[in-house]
Amino acid sequence: MNLNRNTLVISAIFFVTCLINSPSTQANDEQIVTRMCGETDNPTVCKNCIDNSGREVSQELDVIVGSIRCTYNDNYDLINSLTQFASDASDVKVKNVVNGCVQDYKSVQDGLITIVQEASKQSFVTAKGLINSLIYPKMNACDDAVKQSGIVIPPTFFGGSITVAGDLKLMSQLLSIIKA
């Protein structure tokens, strides 16, 4: 199932980069990344995210796709950590809560795929809105379930969820910058 999700997101990202042309293709990659990341709350984190995404940047949309890839990868790592934690847990309550969180964060992956699809249609306002309507509710559901259950979750979970939330904030800021 994860293979299908990964294949879908990679295909969607490929689709976006092949079919969309931004008017800013005259600037080189470094100028685009520097300009767009410079408009975010944390330009250094933004630039590192884009530089480490494995994307070559020739247009604004490549920066958006790079930020989605960062978010997707960090969320994927979080899912794997949670899955391992649930697998290792002996307490049924812990297993149930953490497995619920795994499902919530898999829904986040699905939401990211939907954002890629909207970006491919140059619906950047819609893509940004999906962060609030599709993704944050799933993250909040997991956080609420953990708090209500009283179970102890390792710090890596909180670090991972904070990283994903930071990625989403960055993605939202970048989606606000790009003009269709």
- The CATH number given to whatever domain includes residue 96 is 1.20.140.40
Q: Spell out the long-range contacts of 1-5 with Cβ–Cβ below 8 A and sequence spacing 24 or more.
A: 5/106, 5/109, 5/110, 5/113
Residue 21 covered by a domain: no
Q: Can you read off the two tokens belonging to residue 57?
A: 């940047």
Residue 120 is predicted with a pLDDT of 84
pTM: 0.82
Domain span at residue 7 reads: 2-14+27-177
- Cβ-proximal residues to 167 (8 Å cutoff; 6+ apart), any chain: 49, 67, 70, 71, 74, 75
Q: CA-to-CA distance for 19 and 150, rounded, in angstroms? A: 48
Task: For the chain, count helices (H), then strands (E).
Answer: 8, 0
Residue 56 is predicted with a pLDDT of 83
Nearest alpha carbon to residue 4 among 105, 81, 113 = 113
Residue 89 covered by a domain: yes
Residue 22 covered by a domain: no
Q: CA-to-CA distance for 99 and 38, rounded, in angstroms? A: 38
DSSP letters for 4-21:
HHHHHHHHHHHHHHHH--
Alpha-helix runs per DSSP H in 56-123:
60-88, 92-120
Nearest alpha carbon to residue 170 among 23, 66, 84, 77 = 66
- Chunked in runs of 10, what are the mean pLDDT values of the chain (180 residues)? 55 48 51 94 93 84 92 96 95 96 97 92 93 96 95 89 96 87
Residue 24 is predicted with a pLDDT of 39
Residue 19 covered by a domain: no
Residue 40 covered by a domain: yes
Q: Are 63 and 79 in contact (CB under 8 A)?
A: no
Residue 88 covered by a domain: yes
Residue 42 is predicted with a pLDDT of 93
Residue 158 covered by a domain: yes
Residue 37 covered by a domain: yes
- Cβ-proximal residues to 26 (8 Å cutoff; 6+ apart), any chain: none
Number of domains in the chain: 1
